[in-house]
Amino acid sequence: MNTSGTLALASYNVRGLRDDRRAVVDVARAMAPDLLILQEAPILWFWRRRCAALAADCGMRIIAGFGDGGCERGSGNLILAGPAISVLDTATLRLPHRLFQQQRTAVLARCLTNGEVDRPIIVVGTHLSTAADERGDQIERVMTATQGFAAQGAVEPALFVAGDFNEQPGGVVWRRLSEKLADAGATDSTPTFSTSNPRRRIDAIFYSGGLTVRSYRVWRAGPVRAASDHFPVLAELEFKAPREL
């Protein structure tokens, strides 16, 4: 976050660090976001240590999905922040799923940007089911929790919902998100999955709350194909004056 009032967010499915971990770090550092929303961070075998080390190597800190602020393990969802972000509150939301299906979650953080003006923001990261009939219920829970989190302040916050939605534009998740939020990459149909055969746009950043998109890109530079099976997405957004509730 710089004094001009811009905020850079990236969303990245890192596939459990099963590929080239050093490449993940190099890609994250090259993007240099203020907030990095991760999916499929490690959840087994010393996961706390591995997640903390990943954040540190990226020059960031974990603010949600890790255990800080009373959160529980976020099923691979993490929010990392740089020094320009102050954290006020965090939460982890368990999402509905069928028996024998993977537990899915969303991680939420209420923050302030540290620029010329402290601006309230709500950041939500999630990784939804591969099953279409589960995703509808899951995104409803995510949106309800997001709106509840946003209603607790005196000034309307900027909202961000980012992640791997396991669905392309036009599906139930994208339609539900678009009711309240705008797609930062609405004019860019570049696929985000997979890095070996890019055909589907399933990773995205949605936003609202007096923001305009200055830039958006599906990151394809550096060792990104060695890092994961997903391309990360990066958006730079500019704030307008906040509105009192």
Whether residue 240 lies inside any domain: the answer is: no
Whether residue 24 lies inside any domain: the answer is: yes
- For the chain, state the CA radius of gyration: 16
Residue 115: pLDDT band by 50, 70, 90 thresholds? Answer: low
Whether residue 245 lies inside any domain: the answer is: no
Q: Does the structure show a pLDDT above 50 at 69?
A: no
pTM value is: 0.92
The pLDDT of residue 4: 54
Q: Report whether 174 contacts 139 (CB < 8 A).
A: no
Q: What residues form DSSP beta bridges with 115?
A: none
Q: What residues form DSSP beta bridges with 117?
A: none
Q: What residues form DSSP beta bridges with 230?
A: 193
Closest to 232 measured CA to CA, from 164, 170, 178, 152: 164
Query: Which region holds residue 15: left if phi is over 0, alpha if psi is between -120 and 50, else beta?
Result: left
The pLDDT of residue 26: 98
The range of the structural domain enclosing residue 203 comes to: 6-229
Whether residue 1 lies inside any domain: the answer is: no
CATH classification of the domain holding 74: 3.60.10.10
* Amino acid at site 114: N
* Amino acid at site 32: A
Burial of 66 (0-12, 13-18, 19+ CB in 10 A): buried
Number of compact structural domains in the chain: 1
Whether residue 238 lies inside any domain: the answer is: no
On average, the pLDDT of the chain sits at 89
